[in-house]
Amino acid sequence: MDNSYLIKTDELVKIFPMGKSKITALNHVNLQFKKAEFSGLVGPSGSGKTTLLNIVGSLDSPTEGSATVMGRKIEDLSHKQGAELRNRHIGFIFQTFNLLPVYTVFENVEFPLLLLGLSAQERKKKVMKALEWVQLADRVKSKPAQLSGGESQRVAIARAVVKEPKIILADEPTANLDAENSHNILRTLEKINRELETTFIFATHDEKVIRYLRRKITLIDGKVARDEVFENPVGKGEGQ
């Protein structure tokens, strides 16, 4: 494997059985992602964006071909190894935030660090740093139900960032947010990408997100239709 790539897919195929028929979600996808990329998978619904994200995130496995993340082949990982990869190196941001409802903001962000077995002191330091990134350090004691959509997504970002993973996978992160909140979130993510050199992969069909991307991969019917790189994304500086 070429070590300059964090993520690499080779002839990746994912087929879902649907009753007696089968649906090909990914059809021989070959892609590579380098460190600190700010890229996105775009395309219509059912084009395979989320499926690709799930496989790269070791939440699913390929039917054929191979996906290599941080030098590990996803198809060869056991459940435990997959969980360890996610725990150490991958952060997720979901469309519906997926915050744990009975925990406070602090506890939600602290959760991945608990799984990593860090000391209370270390956890507190990292959690506060992550919450400062998303400008929610004053809401540590709030419960998810007390937060707005934008605030909830910022907590979810803090939770993904807190362990400083190499990769963050964001599935439609702005779909439930208004324009202003979307821009705020995207600026925060861009800042994290720049300062921590985290590789971001979005799955989106939101134009606001697409305008921030430095690399846009268009998927149609499970195939890579286009792979474009932008030196100066147009979204930068918007919404300010």
- SS3 readout for 8-30: EEEEEEEEEEECCEEEEEEEEEE
The answer to the question of residue 106 lying near other proteins (CB under 8 A) is no
Q: Does 144 bind other proteins (CB under 8 A)?
A: no
As a whole number of angstroms, the distance between CA 15 and CA 37 comes to: 28
Rounded to 10 deg, the angle between the 105-116 and 120-133 helix axes is: 130
Place of tokens 């605030």: 151
Q: What's the min distance (Å) between Cβ of 117 and other proteins? A: 8
Q: What is the DSSP letter of 240?
A: -
Give the nearest distance from C-beta 240 to other proteins in angstroms.
32
Asked whether 198 and 166 are in contact (CB, 8 A), the reply is: yes
Of positions 13, 15, 70, 83, contacts other proteins by CB under 8 A? 83
Q: Decide if residue 112 touches other proteins (CB under 8 A).
A: yes
Q: Please state the closest distance from residue 115 (CB atom) to other proteins, in A.
A: 5
Q: Is 77 in the site for other proteins (CB under 8 A)?
A: no
Q: Coil, helix or strand for 149?
A: helix
Site map 57..76 versus other proteins, x via CB under 8 A? x-xx----------------
Q: Specify the amino acid at residue 214.
A: R
Residue 100 as a binder of other proteins (CB under 8 A): the answer is yes
Sites of contact with other proteins (CB under 8 A): 54, 57, 59-60, 79-80, 83-88, 92, 94, 96, 98, 100-103, 107, 111-112, 114-115, 117, 159
